Amino acid sequence: MQLSATFFRSVYLAVTLSSVVSAAPFSGSVKLRSLQTRAVSSGLTVESFHPESSFETFGVDGVDRPLSKRADFDIQDATVSFIESKTGFKADSVNFRTSFSGDVTQHAYVRQQISGIPVANAVANIAFNANKKVVSFGHSFVKAPSAKTIPKTEPTISAQDAIAKAESALAGKYNSHPTTLEWVAKKDGSLALAHVVQVQNDEQHEWFEAFVDAHTGDVIQLTDFVAKASYRVLPISKQTLLEGFETLNDPANLNASPKGWNFNGTTATNDTSGNNAFAYKFSDSGTTKQSSSGQNFIFTQDPTADPTTDSNVAAAVTNAFYIVNSVHDIAYLYGFTEAAYNFQNDNFGKGGAGGDAVRASIQNMQGLDNAWFATPPDGQPGQMAMFLWNDAHTGPERDGALENDVPVHENTHGISNRLTGGGTGRCLQTDESAGMGEGWSDAMAEWTEQKDAEVRDYVIGPYVTNNPAGIRSHPYSTNATTNPLRYSTVASRTEVHDIGEVWANMLHNVYAALVGKLGFDANAHTDASGSGGNTVWLHLFIDSFSIQPCNPTFTDARDAWIQADANRYHGQHNCTLWNAFASRGLGVDAKNYTDDSTVPAGC
Ligand SMILES: *[C@@H]1O[C@H](CO)[C@@H](O)[C@H](O)[C@H]1NC(C)=O
Ligand SMILES: *[C@@H]1O[C@H](CO)[C@@H](O)[C@H](O)[C@H]1NC(C)=O
Ligand SMILES: *[C@@H]1O[C@H](CO)[C@@H](O)[C@H](O)[C@H]1NC(C)=O
Ligand SMILES: *[C@@H]1O[C@H](CO)[C@@H](O)[C@H](O)[C@H]1NC(C)=O
Ligand SMILES: *[C@@H]1O[C@H](CO)[C@@H](O)[C@H](O)[C@H]1NC(C)=O
Ligand SMILES: [Zn+2]
C-alpha cells in the first residue's frame, strides 16, 4: 500500500514582542475555576456550574486502600471502597462508569448518584499503580440536599418535549443521540433533574449537550463539545512560503493501526476514508479517491491557483487524512488507545466504543480564517472543520488543512477532551480548563514540529496568516523577554486561547528542560520506548490527562504531570518538571493566580 501525503512544514521565525503584562485582581478566579458562560446563537446565555474538584496525588509508592488485603483486585470494588474511606460517600452514592488499563496505571471514572440517578457534574477519577496502590484521586462530589428539597425523580416533562425545548432554546437540531436522565448539581447547592439532549447547529459550528430541567423545561446547563479557534491576526508581512512536499510510502504505524489507514472495518478503501479518519470536502461523497490503483494519493498542490481547484482540494483532503491518521498513530503509541476512548471505527475488540473515526471536513465553507473540533463522548465521531484563510489577503486564499499545526491543534482537542474524565467530553468546560485545552493543542502541534535537540522558539499559524508572528501573542520560548507569560497572567485573561498561551508556554519550558537534559529521540513519532526528552515529554503529556480531575486547574494539571512521572519513571524527572513549572510561577506554593517559584527541597 502506498499513500502519499502532500504537506507544508510551517515556516519558523522567532520574533521579539513587547512584554507588558498587566497585573489584575482575582476577580475572575472563581469564574475561571468553576463556571462557564455560553451565549448561544439564539441570544440565550447559560451559566453552567462545575463544582471544583479536589485533587490529590500520592507519589511513587501510592497509598493503601481498604480492600488491599484481598488477593484479587477488582477495580470497581477498590474504587468504591477507597471513595467511601476517603470521603465518607457510601457505596450507594457511587455510580461506576468506566475503567481502563494503561501500560503503567489503571484508571476508573465514576459519578455521584442520588436516588439511583447519576449527577452529571459530580464525578471522581482514581488511578492505581502496578501494586494496586492508589496514586491519584480527584473528585467533585457534592453534599446531597436534604431529601425534602430533592426534586421528584419522575420527570414532569417528557424527553420529547425536552428535545423541542432544547432545539428552540439553542436554535439547533436534535441529532438523535439517545437522551438520558441525570441530576445537575447547581451553584446554590440544589439539584435539578434534567433530560440530556444533544443539539447541533452546523452553520453556527455549535454542538451542545443541553441539560433541560425535567420539571421546568429550562435549559440549565450546557456541555460545549466544540473547541473553536478564534485567531488574532497580526499585520500583514511579505513572508515567502517554504514548501516541503514529500511522498511517504506506507506511513501507517501497524502497532497503532494494524490494518493500515485505508481500511474501514470490513474492507480496504480506495479513498480518504478509513478506520481512524474520514476526510472529505462537503459531504460523504466528497472524499478524495486514489490517484492510481494501489492506494496512491499523489496530488500536487499549486499555491498560485485557487484552493478550490480540483487538484488543490485533493491535496488538502489527502493532507488532512494523513494528519489525522498520523496524530492517531502517535497518540496511540503513547497511550491514547481504544480502551482509553480514542477515535476508531473498529476497535478490534480491544475495549472502548467504536464507530467514532474522526470526520474531517476540508474547505468547510461555513467559515473563514478559523478551524474547529467537536469532541462528543466515546462512540460518537469526532468532527473537525478546516476553513480557508483570507485574513492576510494573500491572493489565493490559504487552506488551513495545508498548515499541519492547524489540524494537529484541532485533533489534539479530541485527545485532551476524551482522556480527561474518561471519555465523556464533559471535563474541559470551565474557562481555566478549556483554556488549558487550547494550550495542550498548541503544545502538541509544537511537539510534532520540533526537529532535533536544539529546542527552537515556536510560532503557530505563520502560513495561514502569512505572518511570521502567527496567531498567538508571543512565540513559545524559554526566554522571558520573548515570552513573559506566567501563572499570574491567567488572572487577567478570560478568553480561552489567551489562557492557553500561558499553559502552552509552560509546556514549552518543560519540553526544553527535558530535551536539554535527556536529548532528543529522532524516532519518537514511531517509537515510544526511547529515553530522550521529547519521548518522556509526550508520555507525561498523554499520561497526565487520565490522572487529572474533571475541569482541572493549572495546579491540578501540574500535579498530574508530576504524578505521571512518579508512575512511569519513579519520579526521576520531578525536579526537572518542578523547575520548569516554577520558572513560570507555577511553583509548589502557587495558588489563586499568585506566582510562586519554590521547588521541593532537594530540587
Ligand atoms: C466499508 O466499505 C464497504 C465498501 O465500500 C462498505 O460496504 C461498508 O459499509 C463500509 N463499512 C463501514 C463500517 O464503513
Ligand atoms: C479498491 O481497489 C481494489 C483494487 O483496485 C478493489 O479490489 C477493491 O474492491 C476496491 N475497494 C473498494 C471499497 O472499492
Ligand atoms: C532573550 O531574548 C532577548 C530579546 O530577543 C535577547 O536580547 C536575549 O539575549 C535573550 N536571552 C537569552 C538568554 O537568550
Ligand atoms: C525527585 O528528584 C530528585 C532528583 O532526581 C530525587 O532525588 C528525588 O528522590 C525525587 N523525588 C521524588 C518524590 O520522586
Ligand atoms: C484565593 O482567593 C480567593 C478570592 O480572591 C479568597 O477567597 C481565598 O481565600 C484565597 N485562597 C487562598 C488559599 O489564598
Ligand atoms: Zn483550539
Question: Per the domain annotation, does 187 fall within a domain?
Answer: yes
Nearest to 475 by CA among 499, 457, 489: 457
The secondary structure element, H or E, covering residue 435 is helix 431-449
Q: How far is the CA of 322 from the centre of ligand 2 (A)?
A: 20
Are 178 and 196 within 8 A, CB to CB? no
Q: Are residues 75 and 209 in the same domain?
A: no
Instruction: Name the band, by pLDDT with cuts 50, 70 and 90, for residue 31.
Output: low
291 strand-pairing partners: none
Distance between CA atoms of 554 and 577, rounded to whole angstroms? Answer: 14
Cell numbers standing for residue 594:
499568585
What single-letter DSSP state applies at residue 392? T
Residue 422 lies in a domain: no
d(CA 206, CA 528) in angstroms, rounded, equals 36
| Residue 88: half-sphere exposure toward Cβ, Cα within 13 Å | 3
Distance 501 CA to ligand 4 centre (A): 29
Q: Is residue 86 in a domain?
A: yes
Lowest mean pLDDT segment, chosen from 14-28, 205-219, 465-479: 14-28
* Mean pLDDT calculated for residue range 340-368: 95
Which tens digits make up the pLDDT trace of 506-543?
A: 999 999 999 999 999 999 999 999 999 999 999 999 99
Encode pLDDT of 70-119 as tens digits.
889 999 999 999 999 999 999 999 999 999 999 999 999 999 999 999 99
Residue, of 422 and 25, whose pLDDT is higher: 422
Q: Do 250 and 205 lie in a common domain?
A: no
Q: Dump pLDDT digits (tens) for 186-245.
A: 999 999 999 999 999 877 778 899 999 999 999 999 998 887 533 221 111 212 234 466
The pLDDT-based confidence of 8 (bands split at 50, 70, 90) is: very low
Q: Are residues 454 and 592 in the same domain?
A: yes
Of 87, 110, 139, which residue constitutes the final position of a domain? 139
Report how far residue 107's alpha carbon sits from residue 119's, in angstroms, rounded to the nearest whole number: 20
Looking at the structure, tell me whether residues 351 and 463 fall in a common domain: no
Give the count of beta carbons closer than 10 Å to the beta carbon of residue 190.
12
The pLDDT of residue 2 is above 90: no
**Looking at the 3D structure of the chain, how many domains does it have?**
4
Does ligand 5 lie within 6 Å of residue 31's CB atom?
Answer: no
Q: Which amino acid residue places its CA nearest to atom 8 of ligand 1?
A: 266
Asked if residue 413 belongs to a known ligand binding site, the reply is yes
Tell me: do 257 and 206 sit in the same domain. no
Active site residues: 410
Up-side HSE of residue 134: CA atoms within 13 Å toward CB? 25
105 phi and psi angles, rounded to 5 deg: -140, 160
Q: How far is the CA of 478 from the centre of ligand 5 (A)?
A: 30
CA distance 460 to 507: 15
Q: Are residues 220 and 235 in the same domain?
A: no
Atom number, ligand 2, closest to the C-alpha of residue 269: 13
Are 86 and 183 part of one and the same domain? no
Query: pLDDT digits over 280-322, tens only?
Result: 998 778 999 988 877 788 888 888 899 999 999 998 999 999 9
Burial class (CB in 10 A: 0-12, 13-18, 19+), 522: middle
Domain boundary among 139, 168, 194: 139
Residues 70 and 36 reside in one and the same domain: no
Which ligand has the minimum distance to the alpha carbon of residue 571? 4
**523 lies in some domain:** yes
Residues 6+ apart with CB under 8 A from 324: 276, 277, 279, 358, 360, 384, 407, 411
- Specify the ligand 3 atom closest to the Cα of 16: 5
The CATH number of the domain holding residue 252 is: 3.10.170.10
Q: What is the 3-state secondary structure (H, E, C) of 210-248?
A: EEEECCCCCEEEEEECEEECCCCCCCCCCCCCCCCCCCC
**CATH classification at residue 489:** 1.10.390.10
Q: Can you tell me the mean pLDDT for 537-566?
A: 98
pTM of the predicted structure, to 2 decimals: 0.87
- Domain containing residue 109: CATH number: 3.10.450
Crossing angle, helix 533-547 and helix 496-518, to 10 degrees?
140
Cell output for 174: 436534535
Residue 535 host element (H or E): helix 533-547
Does residue 205 have a known ligand-binding role?
no
Same domain, 238 and 218: no
Residue 582 lies in domain:
428-602
- Spacing, Cα 335 to ligand 1 middle (Å): 28
- The answer to whether residues 167 and 121 belong to one domain is no
- The helix/strand count (H/E) of the chain reads as 10, 19
Cell 510534532 belongs to residue: 448
| Span 153-203, pLDDT tens digits | 999 999 999 999 999 998 899 999 999 999 999 999 999 999 999 999 877
pLDDT in tens, 411-456: 999 999 999 999 999 999 999 999 999 999 999 999 999 989 999 9
Mean pLDDT within 340-350: 97
- Give residues with Cβ within 8 angstroms of 139, minimum separation 6: 53, 54, 83, 87, 122, 123, 124, 125, 549
Classify burial at 540, counting beta carbons within 10 Å of its beta carbon; exposed 0-12, middle 13-18, buried 19 or more: buried
pLDDT at 66: 87
Last residue of a domain, one of 114, 139, 164: 139
Whether pLDDT at 359 is above 90: yes
For residue 145, which of 196, 111, 91, 187 has the smallest C-alpha distance? Answer: 187
User: 201 forms bridges with which residues in the sheet?
Assistant: 206
pLDDT of 244 reads: 65
> Are 277 and 394 within one domain?
yes
Indicate which CATH number applies to the domain containing 165.
3.10.450.40
Long-range contacts of 451-456 (CB under 8 A, 24+ apart): 452/520, 452/522, 453/515, 453/519, 453/520, 455/511, 455/512, 455/515, 455/516, 456/12, 456/14
Relative to the CA of 570, which ligand 4 atom is closest? 14
Query: Residue 575 falls within a domain, yes or no?
Result: yes
Residue 592 Cβ contacting ligand 5 at under 6 Å:
yes
Distance CA 517, CA 94 (A): 44
Q: Which of 501, 6, 50 is nearest to 232 (CA)?
A: 501
The DSSP code sequence of 339-386 is TTT---S--TTSSS--S-PEEEETT-TT-BS-EEEE---TTS--EEEE
Using most ligand atoms within 8 A of CB, pick from 259, 263, 264, 295 the residue to mutate for ligand 1: 264
For residue 372, give the C-alpha cell.
Answer: 474547529
Residue 14 lies in a domain: no
Specify the 3-state DSSP secondary structure of 7.
Answer: coil
Residue 603 pLDDT greater than 70, yes or no:
yes
Going from the C-alpha of 366 to that of each of 46, 204, 285, 387, 388, the distances in angstroms are 24, 8, 18, 8, 10
CA distances (Å), origin 252, targets 9, 275, 287, 340, 442: 19, 12, 19, 20, 24
Q: Are residues 348 and 387 in the same domain?
A: yes
Q: What are the φ/ψ torsions at residue 165 (nearest 5 degrees)?
A: -60, -45
The pLDDT confidence band at residue 39, using thresholds 50, 70 and 90, is low
Among the bound ligands, name the one nearest to the CA of residue 285: 1
In a domain, residue 80? The reply is: yes
Residue 56 labelled as part of a binding site: no
Q: Is residue 24 part of a domain?
A: no
Which residue's CA is minimally distant from atom 13 of ligand 2? 269
- Residue 169: name the closest of 220, 105, 245, 111 by CA: 220
431-449 vs 533-547: helix crossing angle, rounded to 10: 160
